[in-house]
Amino acid sequence: MGRPPCCDKVGIKKGPWTPEEDLILASYIKDHGPGNWRSVPTNTGLLRCSKSCRLRWTNYLRPGIKRGNFTELEEKMIISLQSLLGNKWAAIASYLPQRTDNDIKNYWNTHLKKKLKKFHSILHPHHLGSSSSSDSSTSFQFLSKDYSSSYDRIRNLEHHHLIHQNSALNKFISSHRSSVGSSNTSSTTSTISYASSTENISRLLEGWMKTSPNKLNTSNSTTLKLKATQTEEKVLLDGNNNSKNNNHNTSHSGNNNLDDDKQLVKKVEVQESCNDDDDLISNEADYFESLLTFENISNMACWEQKSSSDSTTIHGSTTSASPEPQTTTTTTPIEDRVDSISESDHQGLIEDDQNQPPFSLLEKWLLDEATGQVLEEDPMETSPIF
């Protein structure tokens, strides 16, 4: 005998959620925590099925969700992860904790797929129109393939690149996995994005944050996390820029050949796309090439390592997000390189943090909100989802 049916199909409301429904759902989850979705509609009186409630919560109401424009960093991470994991949006989303799988999926389908297709057409102008047969799950793969299929030498080069990428990215992923895993149980999840992304709900729930226990600690960690996040993004972006600059001023020992080859790739691309008419396209090519570089992926690993060390630096002993269990596996030479890059950049990270750009108005508002003290323990933050 199984369980009783989760919800009647009759009388179930569909379509967009109203603010009132959001309020009811958020209030309920505030009191009871997420989970046990089957009981949510009956206990709240919402005429929604449990599935719809869960979806609404995870994709919209859940604290910590960032909405709106994707940063270049996020974009690159999505493309890289998609190439590695395929259309595993939930898995990809786990590396972008502030984004939902739905959001990432939508962004991929509406933006990135087009960009990749466009880039494909740059590589194969004579195939214009035929690339439409490529589906989203393989678009990055075909992109990568484009590099390798045309020129044997480039193929070998790309093979090496992929090895480098996978090594570095796996490192990045494994360290991030532990980070994500531990942050799930930590109490330092930022509440900033929640306020910024669902301000309507936040207003509806005014007083929630201000009456919940533990807010002081959270506010500290929130403030610091905001800074940390800014730093992380800056570092990675700077890293990418640096890596591009390093094409001309190679500073990574052992990368000379790769850099030379990359320039060769670039030249070939230029020849192939000689009919393309504007800087936009060449910029796109640069952009996508940067996605394929070892340095790019390396920087992700560096960024991850930095962020963990940064986190301890910034959080100090008070609100450290989670002891980042750095895996101490035997490292390959490539990983050694990644490590050395990371270490050498560590100091720069701290400096970066000290040179934070001024907070935006919203951030300021949020900081004020956070330092208004208020914060106590948010029931949400103890939930496994966060």
Which residues of this chain interact with DNA, rule CB under 7 A? Answer: 1-7, 13-17, 35-38, 48, 50-52, 54-56, 59-60, 67-68, 87-91, 101-103, 105-107, 109-111, 114, 136-137
Residue 46 Cβ, how far from DNA at the closest point, in Å? 11
Q: Is 376 helix (H, G, I), strand (E, B) or coil?
A: strand
- Which of 194, 201, 184 is CA-nearest to residue 226? 194
Closest CB to DNA among residues 22, 269? 22
Closest CB to DNA among residues 202, 299? 202
Closest CB to DNA among residues 140, 147? 140
Closest CB to DNA among residues 30, 117? 117
Closest CB to DNA among residues 11, 207? 11
Residue 365 Cβ, how far from DNA at the closest point, in Å? 21
Closest CB to DNA among residues 45, 254? 45
Residue partners of 308: CB distance under 8 A and separation at least 6? 175, 179, 324, 326
Residue 74 Cβ, how far from DNA at the closest point, in Å? 13
Q: What is the Cα 240 distance to its own chain's centre?
A: 16
Residue 384 Cβ, how far from DNA at the closest point, in Å? 8
How far is it, in rounded angstroms, from Cα 127 to Cα 322? 50
How far is it, in rounded angstroms, from Cα 225 to Cα 315? 8
Nearest 5°: phi and psi at 118?
A: -65, -40
Q: What is the Cα 134 distance to its own chain's centre?
A: 25
User: What does each C-alpha distance from 337 to 174, 250, 251, 268, 331 come to in angstroms?
Assistant: 17, 14, 12, 28, 9
Residue 115 Cβ, how far from DNA at the closest point, in Å? 10
Residue 237 Cβ, how far from DNA at the closest point, in Å? 21
For the chain, strand residue ranges (E) read none
Residue partners of 196: CB distance under 8 A and separation at least 6? 66, 67, 362, 366
Nearest 5°: phi and psi at 354?
A: -75, -20
